[in-house]
Amino acid sequence: MAHSVRRDAPELPDFSLLKRLARDQLIYLLEQLPGRKDLFIEADLMSPLDRIANVTTLKQHDVDKLYKVEHKPIVSTSDQMVRGCFLYPLTNWFLFPDVVNADKAFGRFRRYKIIFSPQKFYACENLLEEQGIFGDVTTDEWSFYLLPLDDDIISLELPEFFRDYFLEGDQRWVRTAGSALHLLHSVYGPFSKVYGIGRCSKMAYESWREQVEEGEQRARQAEIGNVFLIDRDVDLVTPLCSQVVYEGLVDDIFRIKCGCVEFCPDVTSSDKSIKVMLNSQDKVFNEIRNEHFSQVFGFLSQKARNLQTAYDKRSGMNIKQMKTFVSEELKGLKQEHRLLSLHIGASESMMKKKTKQDFQELLKTEHSLLEGFEIRECISYIEEHINRQVSMVESMRLLCLLSLTENGLLPKDYRSLKAQFLQSYGIEHLLTFSNLKQLGLLVEQQPGETLTVMESRVGKLVNDKTAGKLTDAFSSLAKKSNFRALGRRLNLVPKSDEEYDLRVPRDMAYIFSGAYIPLSCKLIEQVLERDGWTGLEEVTRMLNGHEFAVTDARVKTDSQRIILVMFLGGCTFSEISALRFLGREKGIKFIVVTTAITNSARLLESMLDNHA
């Protein structure tokens, strides 16, 4: 990193322990069925499982064959079956009773065990009972809550959390989040302070406290100081913006899955695609992951030159030096070389996709939306975007961004844009729009309360404070985003006329080319600075409240500067980058716990209703 780093940043706790815990429990569960067995795994669980226990480990514990659960009849010869099932309600899961009943019809005796992860729900047992096979299977729970993706990222791998909680109002994962927090607390706690904002955060916090009170408490050295809980719906703008930080961009384009990305052939410049783990172990990646994309190429070419020099050292060497070079450095260099060429390939491919004219325009539109500038032009750009059928998700993203930043669309625009969209992508999106509306992502301004108009008019008459209050009064009428007001109060959108030097970022806005500081991260910064919510009353009111700050006076800890941030509903790589930046500036370390890594595409795809 080019910029200054505070030297006194604390060390992060070791999270590989979580993996070990999960693995041990899984093995224990497998050993409960002695003898050879087949293991059927829900597709969603495949990659997380691979990170916990690979095939060799499973084979060591008498797992004969591994199957991915699909919509196909299950053929297995083993006497025992273990099912790793991820979630209820599962579509594939319903196949299972058929297997049992088929076996019964053939008079075949097998032992079945269903392992639910991370939680067994009452409904699961209920269903087994309804299917009449409750007595034939044993069920178990693999409480695998937390998957450490990197040194500072832990994921609950619950991508459905966002839809289930925020759209469907289904609270079943809240307890899971509470349990995850409980696990972290019991291994790395006790935490001295807990801040949070959002209804779900509050419920997760309460669920966790309940579990703490039920269990016994041990006094131990705290490795994590403070905790910050945040609901995704507090800040929906940030995940909808195009990511331009390297790691975020890789996620947007190639989709990082469980910390692993598959680079297609045109990146690898060979005829097969390669799976690459993206984490801090990858030296090259570690240095560019948080960089703005425009800087990455320069860095990579510098790196390539350095590598060349390192290789070139060989020429002037005597035999002995050569020997040490080969034994010590060469392997590292080779490895670095391989990674470097991969990342250069990836950058090139991204460059090709993104530096085209339309991407620049897209970014420009996004930035104008964030700034609240030239809205008419933006709307016509979006219209054109829809008409030309560039990309369904992208169009939807822009629509949502427009609605969020403008506090809803004018009825005329709302209708015409929606009609255009339906004509382009089919009427089934009527349901999608209804979902978006319910979530407040894409709404219509109610006639008579066009907020921006009202606000500006009132704002001229009275001072800012009353205007803020009026805004609140409006916001209580409907679920609304007060993006503009928030932006002004928290100074989220830096003045556009200044040049922003992306090489030396001065604030978190660099992750969006200096156009916008992510609201979520800004909130965290503010709360940590103020040590609570005092002075942020208006902000929280605009965010629909539910903020809390709890201090555990009993806990005295020196790990105050290790802060765990838990995103309920997912977070983006850009936000993680922003927090890393903030951490470097303030000399603290952030640990990000999220229900899943998300981005605009994942967020919006979860809103589609065609998967039913």
- Asked if residue 390 binds another protein (CB under 8 A), the reply is no
The backbone torsions φ and ψ at residue 492, rounded to the nearest 5 degrees and listed phi first, read -80, -30
Q: Does residue 270 bind another protein (CB under 8 A)?
A: no
Q: Which of residues 146-175 bind another protein (CB under 8 A)?
A: 164, 168-172, 174-175
Helical (H) or strand (E) element with 456: helix 451-461
Closest CB 92 distance from another protein, rounded Å: 12
Region of 117-125, 189-197, 539-547, 577-585 interacting with another protein (CB under 8 A) = 117-125
Task: Indicate which single residue of 32, 308, 389, 456 sits in contact with another protein (rule: CB under 8 A).
Answer: 389
Q: Judged by CB under 8 A, does residue 14 bind another protein?
A: no
* Shortest distance (Å) from residue 385 CB to another protein: 11
Give the separation between CA 547 and CA 543, rounded to whole angstroms: 9
479 or 586: whose CB is closer to another protein? Answer: 479
Comparing CB distances to another protein, the nearer of 91 and 391 is 91
From 33-41, 306-314, 418-426, 510-518, span contacting another protein (CB under 8 A): 418-426
79-98 footprint of another protein as x/- string (CB under 8 A): ----------x-x-------
CA angle (270, 272, 276) in 5-degree steps: 95
State both tokens at 495.
Answer: 């003045």
Using the rule CB under 8 A, give the single segment among 12-20, 120-128, 300-308, 328-336 that binds another protein.
120-128
- For tokens 């039920």, what's the residue? 214
Phi then psi dihedrals of residue 412, to 5 deg: -65, -50
Q: Is position 420 an interface residue for another protein (rule: CB under 8 A)?
A: yes
Print burial letters for 257-287: b (CB count within 10 Å at least 16), e (below 16): ebbebebeeebbeeeeeeebebbeebebbbb
609 binds another protein (CB under 8 A): yes
Question: Cis (ω within 30 of 0) for the bond into 97?
Answer: no
Choose among 74, 72, 96: nearest CA to 85.
96
- Taking the complex as a whole, the smallest distance from the CB of residue 11 to another protein amounts, in Å, to 35
Which lies closer to another protein via its Cβ, residue 411 or residue 587?
411
Q: Tell which one of 422, 454, 470, 549 touches another protein (CB under 8 A).
A: 422
| 410-416: long-range contacts, CB 8 A cutoff, minimum separation 24 | 410/444, 410/445, 410/450, 411/444, 411/445, 411/447, 413/379, 414/443, 414/444, 414/445, 416/383
Q: At closest approach, how far in Å is the CB of 369 from another protein?
A: 21
Site for another protein (CB under 8 A): which residue of 70, 361, 384, 531? 384
- Residue 426 in the binding site for another protein (CB under 8 A): yes
Beta bridge partners of 82: 39, 113
Min separation Cβ 383 and another protein, Å: 8
- Which helix (H) or strand (E) segment holds residue 49: the answer is helix 43-52
Task: Establish whether the linkage from the previous residue to 118 is cis, with ω within 30° of 0.
Answer: yes
The Cα 296–Cα 289 span in angstroms is 9
Partnered with residue 114 across adjacent β-strands are 83, 139
Specify whether the CB–CB gap between 527 and 228 falls below 8 A: yes
Yes or no: say if 381 and 357 are a contact pair by the CB < 8 Å rule.
Answer: no
Minimum distance, C-beta of residue 116 to another protein, in the bound complex (Å): 12
Choose the binding region for another protein from 142-150, 245-253, 416-424, 461-469 (rule: CB under 8 A). 416-424
Report which DSSP code applies to 292: B
- The tokens describing 143, both together, are 């409480």
* Nearer to another protein (CB atom), residue 319 or residue 612: 612
Residues 197-236 that bind another protein (CB under 8 A): 203, 206-207, 210
| Residue 506: Cβ within 10 Å count | 12
**CA–CA distance, 248 with 256 (Å, rounded to integer):** 9
Contact 317, 325 (CB under 8 A): yes
Please choose, from the candidates 523, 503, 525, the residue with its C-alpha nearest in 3D space to the C-alpha of residue 514. Answer: 503
Is residue 353 close enough to count as binding another protein by CB under 8 A? Answer: no
- 122 interacts with another protein by CB under 8 A: yes
Q: Report, in Å, the least distance between residue 505 CB and another protein.
A: 25
- Select from 323, 331, 415, 506 the one that contacts another protein (CB under 8 A): 415
Dist. CA 38–CA 58, nearest whole Å: 10
Is 430 a binder of another protein (CB under 8 A)?
yes
Nearest distance in Å: CB 413, another protein: 13
User: CA–CA distance from 379 to each of 28, 104, 312, 366, 553 (Å)?
Assistant: 58, 62, 55, 11, 52
Judged by CB under 8 A, which of 83, 418, 580, 589 binds another protein? 418
Q: Tell me whether residue 297 or residue 425 sits nearer to another protein (CB atom).
A: 425
> Torsions phi, psi of 242, nearest 5?
-65, 135
Q: Of 133-141, 236-244, 412-420, 528-536, which part binds another protein (CB under 8 A)?
A: 412-420
Contacting another protein (CB under 8 A), which of 281, 294, 355, 423?
423
- Residues 9, 260, 274, 431: which binds another protein (CB under 8 A)? 431
Report in angstroms how near the CB of residue 198 gets to another protein at its nearest: 15
Interface region with another protein, contact rule CB under 8 A, candidates 312-320, 387-395, 509-517, 529-537? 387-395
The tokens 């706790």 sit on which residue?
A: 13
Q: Does residue number 434 form part of the binding site for another protein (CB under 8 A)?
A: yes
Is residue 126 at the binding interface for another protein, with CB under 8 A as the rule?
yes
Residue 361 Cβ, how far from another protein at the closest point, in Å? 11
Specify the stretch interacting with another protein by CB under 8 A; choose among 289-297, 413-421, 474-482, 571-579: 413-421
Which chain residues interact with another protein by CB under 8 A? 89, 91, 121-123, 126, 164, 168-172, 174-175, 178, 203, 206-207, 210, 383-384, 387-389, 415, 418-420, 422-428, 430-431, 434, 609-610, 612
